[in-house]
Structure 1
Amino acid sequence: MTWEPERLDDQAQLSAGDPGAMLPAVASAAAQVRTAHRNAGESGVARLAQEGRPRAIVVAGMGAAALAGDILAVLCGYGAPLPVVTVRSGRLPGWVGATDLVMAVSSSGRTAETLSVATEAARRGSSLLAVTAPDSPLHAIATQASALFVPVEPTGPSRANLWGLAVPLVAAADALGLIKAGPDLFEDVAKGLEEMAHRCRPTSESFVNPGKALAMELAESVPVLWGATSLTAIAAHRLALQLHENAKYPAMWGALPEAGHNQLAVVEGPLAERDIFADTAARTVRLVLLRESDERPLELLGIAHDRGVPVTELVAEGAHPLERLATLIELGDYASVYLALGYGVDPTPVAAITELQARISQ
């Protein structure tokens, strides 16, 4: 597979290369926010407040579902009156009990690890909130436990439905008084996502399309993605996951300042070397810094620039943290799909992952 950037502005090639309609799925983010917020309200997440504030919140999920838990945790912040923990495995922590709230999140409702955690939560008498597909195994567990259930309306693969999974958790935190997230916020988030989708639309040419431009910078490189804050670290993590699954492309991610204490060493390793006389582009390190407008680690950037390592800076846009995170994630989602299409890779199927899941379920 070779990188051919001209594919990105050829509408026929974009359409033919995306038979699973991943680009339209990415463009559905704003609709996901509005639908998920409505579903959360109609499902009665406000009733969580009737049981009083839990001792802790545990979010169980894998992939995008787990990232929804990270989003909830960063919005609650360090000053939250209770811990928000994301579990990315099939085991519920031993300390979780009847005074805790477990949020089991799965777009398909069939994720083996999440089903295991939800079953254990019900057995221990924990409060349970299931965010999942109707008539799925996870929905059945919630029904049997008389737990709250918020339906998910999937748009493409699970990874393309992040906001359908995250918004109900944010709405639940609002009901519990942990954050303020009213209808106006979700509408602002949806509008920000619509604006980013418009800027990144397939018919917008590469020189004015931020999604295509980012894909072109990432191509033929080894991306090292760093979040400068706890908020933008989630976007860095998300971009790495999307590059893996959509583009089948390797990437590493980290959070500053910790990443500066170990990952920074890659700027002087073998993959940071460049041959200016080479006939073809070398696959070398590119740092991608995802940051807030007022957060720019000059010392770190100086070290990279001094060694000739290229740096891409992505700045979060929006007034509220959720707005900034959403638009940054949307940009990365588009870039991952355009990177796949530029290489002639179908962004939708993930054959190796599907095979692994089949083997686990046997």
Structure 2
Amino acid sequence: MVDLNDVKAIRALDSMGSLITTENYDKQFKEGLDLVANFELPPLNREIHEIILLGTGGGSSVAGGFLRSYLFDELKQPIIINQGYNIPAFVDKNTLVLVTSHSGNTEEILSAYEQAKKTGAYMVALTAGGKLAENCKNDGVPCLIVPADIGHPRRDLGYIFVPLLVMLHKLGLISDKTEEIMETINLFTELNKKLNPEVPVEQNHAKQIAIGLYGHIPLIYGSLDYYDSVAWRWKNQFGENSKLMAFYNVIPNLHHDEAVGWDMPEDLLKKFYLIMLRDDELDSPKIKKRKDITADILKERMGHVEFVYATGKSRLARMFSLVYLGDFVTLYAPIYRGVDPTPVEVINLFKRKMAE
């Protein structure tokens, strides 16, 4: 095991600097806000019935999930996240299509883009380049070009989520969120002082969770209305960063089906490490009670039950306080095992085989 108090060892193992990128989320989110500031969109000269986000993976699709959760009680149109090659039959001229592919070469998104174009939908794209940027230029589709980084969009949320959020405001679908974005940026700065590699294990909650997870399967429970997408983000980050199979579900939904699985054989259930996402302000009294009951039932059955609490003033900041903690946890977890968190060899292998 790697000593998580050994900052030099941590930095050396993190060969592509994902920890540094995470530590600089405040700067990245500000850059994302600046990038979209002067981005011009044609007038929305039609009624929008639904918004469909074309996106895959831990950057684009999860950004769509954050939009859906964060804007739950404001946005009048439903957000549908479309991760496959094809688009649903309802897409037409009254659909807003957000096309997101960080590389610009994601084959599923390029396929869905071509189909959406034929429907006459209002389209806008976000990419770092590639075929998508070329297609948008040829087709006259507004396209925001964002930094390419190293081609791992899961660590580029500031370049994806923030511009998409601002675009919705520019189209007149939501109110101006600049103040909440700025609060979130400032919160990143403060949380970094508690979670970065220089902070020892004794004072670093992310490192403590990462160590406790060793030998367990991560299970993340979020909740409606705002923490379903945050739980999804944690699950995805455990896969890509930590190289761990992980699972997530949402309260209250899971109490109607998955909860029966808690009666599985004890030796199997003990393998799970439950991370419960909590918010003393946004969780309703009934959701709080359900989380308390869940913890009471599972604390003697599962390997461990860990509460993590949101901080911040605005809803956006509170959601991203837990996203930020999760990103650090999922980076420290593989490092503790001696594994570089950034490479995704299985995904690269799959892409090579698909290209054959």
Task: Encode CA deviations 1:209-231: one digit per residue, 9 max, x unaligned.
Answer: 12212212222212211002332
Counterpart of 1:277?
none
Distance change >3 Å, CA 305–CA 210, structure 1 → 2: closer
Q: 5 Å matches for 1:1-362?
A: 4=1, 6-44=2-40, 47=41, 49-63=43-57, 64-78=59-73, 80-134=75-129, 136-156=130-150, 157-270=152-265, 272=267, 284-294=271-281, 295=283, 296=288, 297-307=291-301, 309-362=303-356
Where 2:202 maps in the other structure, the secondary structure is coil
Question: In 2, Cα distance between the equivalents of 1:273 and 1:353?
Answer: 28
Q: 1:265 to 1:50 in 2, by over 3 A?
A: closer
Measure the CA separation in 2 of the matches of 1:238 and 1:359: 27
1:302-348 Cα deviation digits (max 9, x unpaired)? 21135465210111112222111111111101110100100001111
Q: CA RMSD in A?
A: 2.0
**How many Å separate the matches in 2 of 1:267 and 1:60?**
35
What secondary structure is seen at the aligned counterpart in 1 of 2:201?
Answer: coil
| Residue 59 of structure 1, CA deviation | 0.4
SS at match of 2:299: helix
AA of the residue aligned to 1:39: L
3-state SS of the aligned residue for 1:207?
helix
How far apart, CA to CA, are the structure 1 residues paired with 2:135 and 2:355? 17
Q: How far apart are the structure 1 equivalents of 2:70 and 2:193?
A: 26
Q: What is the DSSP-based 3-state SS (H/G/I as helix, E as strand, rest coil) of the residue aligned with 2:312?
A: coil
Give 1:97 deviation, angstroms. 1.1
Query: What is the count of residue pairs matched by the alignment?
Result: 347
- CA distance in structure 2 between the aligned counterparts of 1:16 and 1:79, rounded to whole angstroms: 45
Q: Conserved in 1, the CA contact under 8 Å of 2:274 and 2:302?
A: no
Q: Is the 8 A contact 1:72 1:170 kept in 2?
A: yes
1:182 and 1:17, CA in 2 relative to 1: closer, same or farther beyond 3 A? same
Query: In structure 2, what residue type is equivalent to 1:203?
Result: E
Taking the aligned partners of 1:15 and 1:209, their CA distance within structure 2 comes to 16
Note the alpha carbon deviations across 1:51-105, whole angstroms, 9 max, x for none.
Answer: 3442211101001200111111122215532221110111111110122111011
| Counterpart code for 2:194 | R
2-side partners of 1:39 and 1:354: how far apart? Answer: 29
- Alpha-carbon distance in structure 2 between the residues aligned to 1:193 and 1:144: 39
Q: 1:109 to 1:124 in 2, by over 3 A?
A: same
Secondary structure of the residue aligned to 1:8 is coil
Unaligned 5+ runs, structure 1 = 275-282
Give, in angstroms, the shift of residue 49 of structure 1: 4.7
Q: Do the aligned partners of 1:154 and 1:164 also contact (CA within 8 Å) in 2?
A: no
**What fraction of aligned residue pairs are identical, expressed as a percent?**
23
In the TM superposition, residue 38 of structure 1 has moved relative to its aligned partner by 1.4
Rate the CA distance shift 1:28–1:119 in 2: closer, same or farther, 3 A: farther
Are the structure 2 counterparts of residues 82 and 308 from structure 1 closer, same or farther at C-alpha, using a change threshold of 3 Å?
closer
For 1:361 and 1:66, how far apart are their aligned partners in 2? Answer: 23
Map Cα deviations across residues 128-162 of structure 1 (whole Å, 9 max, x no partner). Answer: 1111113x211112112211111211334111112
Q: Shift of residue 361 of structure 1?
A: 3.9
* Structure 2 unaligned spans of 5+: none
The 2-side partners of 1:105 and 1:159 are apart by 13
Cα distance change on mapping 1:223 and 1:317 into 2, 3 Å: same
> How big is each residue's C-alpha offset from its partner over 1:239-287, in whole Å with a ceiling of 9 and x where there is no partner?
111111111111110111112233334444235569xxxxxxxx72221
Output the CA distance in 2 between the equivalents of 1:193 and 1:304: 32
Contact 1:226–1:290 (CA<8 Å) still a contact in 2?
yes
Change (3 A) 1:12 1:131: same
Q: CA deviation at 1:48?
A: 5.0
Q: Separation in 1 of the partners of 2:138 and 2:92?
A: 18
Give TM-score, length-normalised by structure 2: 0.91
